[in-house]
Structure formats: C-alpha cells, structure tokens
C-alpha cells in the first residue's frame, strides 16, 4: 500500500546506471499536406503497395511506416479532437517561467509527490486519465496562486487533487477516510475537504483540461501500433510527469515527443530521428522544429536521470508499473 508520509525530502540527482489505418500517400493533416515525390513515398508494414525506393535500414523503414500512421486526416474525427483540445490547451498552458523561482529541492518535492500519487493511483487501479488529471490540477493550482509548495501541506494538496480527479473520472472515487489513511494521518478529513475546496476555487472549478495522456490517446487512436509501442509510449508519458521543467511545453508537444521516442529504432542517428519527427508530425501540429528539439532533449534528460530522496530511496513507481520498458528505449545522442 502507498501509506506514506512525505518528509525529509532533500535529494540529489545522478545518472541512471543503465543509462487501424494504413498510411496513404499525400494524406492531408490538420495543418498542410505532406509534399512527397512518387519515389519517396513510404508505405506501411502491411505491404499494401510495393515501395518505390529501397532503403538499407530495415528497422528505420519499419519506424517510418509506423510513425506515418499518426498523421491526422483533415476530415477525420482524430483531427477534430486534436483541434478542439489544442484550442483549450492554448488557453491554459503554463508560462515558460512558471517554475523558474522553484528551487531544486522544491522541484524534487514535486517529483516525490508525483511518485507517491502513482503508487496510490496504481493501488486502486484507477485510470491513467485520473493520474494525469490529478497532476494537472496540482500544477495549475500552484501556477494560479504563485505560491511555493510547502513541505507540511504538499501531501494534503496532492491527495486532494487525486480525490478531485477520481471524482471526475472514476465510478468509485477515493473516499475521504482513504485520503487520511494514505497520508499516514498527516492531515485530517476536515483538512482534506478544506484543501479540496480551496483548489477548486483557485482553478475556477475547471477540472477537465487536455493532458499529455489526452493527446497520446488521440494520436494512438488513429493508428494501429503494436502493443509494445503503445506500452512504451505510456511509460514515457508517465515518466514525464516527474519533471517540472516539462511544464513549459504544451501537452500535445510532449505527447508527440513521447510517441516518437517510443517508435525510434536503435541505430538511427539523431539527425535522422529529428528530421523524420519534424516531417511526420511537426507540420501536422504546427510546431516549429526548434520546439520539437527542445522538448525531446528535456524528455531524454528526464529518462536518463534518476531521483533519490534524502534516505537514498529511488523514485521508481512508474518503472515498477512498466518493468521492461526502460530497456527498450533508444536514448542515444
């Protein structure tokens, strides 16, 4: 069980020891159509039509075919969902300086809280949507107040956010007494209710907003990726929850970067991966190449590092959920 009181959270960071639909030529996306020549068109692994251009790297060909499935047809439901959520995202996305005044210790306090929320969420078998919404509510609350998280009240805010998220997404949400139990008695039922009310008032009673998970689901719903690729995407996107620095990137951009990393084959050069990511998703989402590169670098930095508490406990709740995922990552520079 995740019955733990968060305290003595001083940390250091170190390097991790280990360190559907088929793609159709000239498919239009939400942005502009992709310009491809007859010889450069790349079809998917179903072999619908013979490739006009032969490549030597088989794994890279498979990656190209899989990633091209994520393009959104302009008249499709996926495009409508993307456009709708993108419009909302632009209104609530955090300013890039929202965590600048946070110290390293404060950011690590947040990472420890997220790790604990993953444990509680997993113990109850809540949906991933509830987890992402809980962290989103927490971050929006502190962004709105401008306050710095305080050690003696941070856990109460975290469990209150999960309480709100499960009330929104789950048929059987958390109960107040369970919140008290999970915090090991560090807060009372009355305190949880008071914090819950304060959070709701601060965020304007707006619970549902697009998260990284929202956009991951939109893009994956338009494709027929193998279970391993979907599982690795889920792992990367949940690992992104730990890093406060990723708040400066739009959830849709983080989602696209997570999918790209999950599909990126070992052996492909960094320049090839970045260029393909831009060609296959940048135009679709109206992002600049510079945005994509910065987000990719931030995510890879998070995946390569590990966080320890003052008692030298490693934060690995997500790693435990996906025990074999990290070994499949391609994090080469």
Whether domain 102-202 has CATH 2.40.30.60: no
Q: What pLDDT digit, counting tens, does each position of 151-174 carry?
A: 889 999 999 999 999 999 999 999
pLDDT of 14 above 50: no
User: What letter does residue 32 receive in the DSSP assignment?
Assistant: -
CA atoms of 298 and 295, how far apart (whole Å): 5
What angle in degrees, to the nearest 10, is found between the helix axes of 189-202 and 128-145? 70
Predicted TM-score of the model (pTM): 0.75
Question: Do the beta carbons of residue 121 and residue 134 sit within 8 Å?
Answer: yes
Cα dist from 312 to 184, 185, 209, whole Å? 21, 24, 35
**Domain chopping of the chain, boundaries:** 59-89+210-328, 102-202
CA atoms of 179 and 194, how far apart (whole Å): 13
Q: Domain 59-89+210-328 carries which CATH code? A: 1.10.472.10
Least confident of 76-85, 115-124, 173-182: 76-85
Tell me the average pLDDT across 130-156: 91
CA atoms of 251 and 214, how far apart (whole Å): 8
pLDDT of 34 above 80: no
Tell me the average pLDDT across 45-56: 34
Alpha carbons within 13 angstroms on the beta-carbon side of residue 250 total: 19
User: What backbone torsions phi and psi does residue 305 show, to the nearest 5 degrees?
Assistant: -95, 170
CA atoms of 16 and 8, how far apart (whole Å): 22
Q: How sure is the predictor about 259, in pLDDT bands with cuts at 50, 70 and 90? A: confident
Least confident of 37-46, 68-77, 148-157, 322-331: 37-46
Which residue matches tokens 């990284």? 212
Tell me the average pLDDT across 62-75: 50
Query: The dihedral of CA 171, 172, 173, 176: what is its sign?
Result: positive
Query: What pLDDT, on a 0 to 100 scale, did the predictor assign at position 55?
Result: 39
Query: What pLDDT, on a 0 to 100 scale, did the predictor assign at position 103?
Result: 79
Q: What pLDDT digit, counting tens, does each position of 95-124 carry?
A: 554 667 777 888 889 999 999 999 999 999
Q: What pLDDT digit, counting tens, does each position of 198-239 carry?
A: 999 999 999 989 999 999 998 887 766 778 888 899 999 999
Structure-block tokens of residue 175: 């109960």
CA atoms of 222 and 153, how far apart (whole Å): 42
Question: Do the beta carbons of residue 120 and residue 2 sit within 8 Å?
Answer: yes
């Amino acid at each position: 069980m995740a019955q733990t009181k968060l305290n003595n959270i001083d940390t250091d960071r170190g390097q991790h020891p280990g360190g559907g639909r088929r793609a159709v030529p000239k498919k239009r996306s939400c942005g502009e159509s992709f310009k491809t020549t007859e010889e450069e068109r790349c079809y998917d692994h179903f072999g619908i039509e013979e490739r006009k251009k032969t490549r030597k790297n088989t794994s890279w060909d498979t990656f190209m075919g899989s990633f091209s499935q994520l393009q959104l047809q302009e008249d499709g439901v996926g495009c409508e969902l993307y456009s709708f959520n993108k419009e909302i995202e632009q209104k609530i996305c955090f300013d890039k300086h929202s965590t600048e005044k946070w110290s390293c210790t404060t950011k690590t306090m947040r990472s420890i809280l997220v790790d604990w929320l993953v444990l509680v969420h997993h113990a109850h078998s809540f949906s991933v949507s509830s987890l992402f919404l809980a962290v989103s509510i927490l971050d929006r609350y502190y962004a709105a107040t401008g306050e710095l998280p305080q050690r003696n009240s941070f856990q109460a805010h975290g469990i209150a956010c999960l309480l709100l998220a499960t009330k929104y997404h789950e048929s059987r949400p958390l109960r107040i007494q369970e919140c008290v139990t999970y915090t090991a008695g560090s807060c009372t039922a009355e305190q949880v209710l008071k914090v819950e009310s304060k959070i709701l008032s601060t965020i304007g009673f707006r619970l549902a907003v697009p998260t990284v998970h929202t956009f991951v689901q939109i893009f994956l719903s338009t494709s027929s990726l193998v279970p391993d690729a979907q599982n690795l995407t889920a792992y990367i996107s949940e690992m992104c929850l730990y890093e406060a620095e990723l708040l400066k990137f739009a959830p849709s951009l983080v989602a696209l970067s997570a999918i790209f990393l999950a599909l990126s084959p070992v052996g492909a050069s960094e320049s090839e991966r970045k260029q393909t990511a831009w060609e296959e998703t940048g135009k679709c989402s109206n992002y600049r190449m510079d945005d994509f590169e910065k987000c990719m670098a931030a995510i890879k930095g998070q995946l390569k590092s590990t966080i320890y508490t003052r008692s030298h406990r490693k934060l690995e709740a997500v790693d435990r959920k996906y025990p074999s995922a990290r070994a499949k990552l391609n994090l080469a520079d």
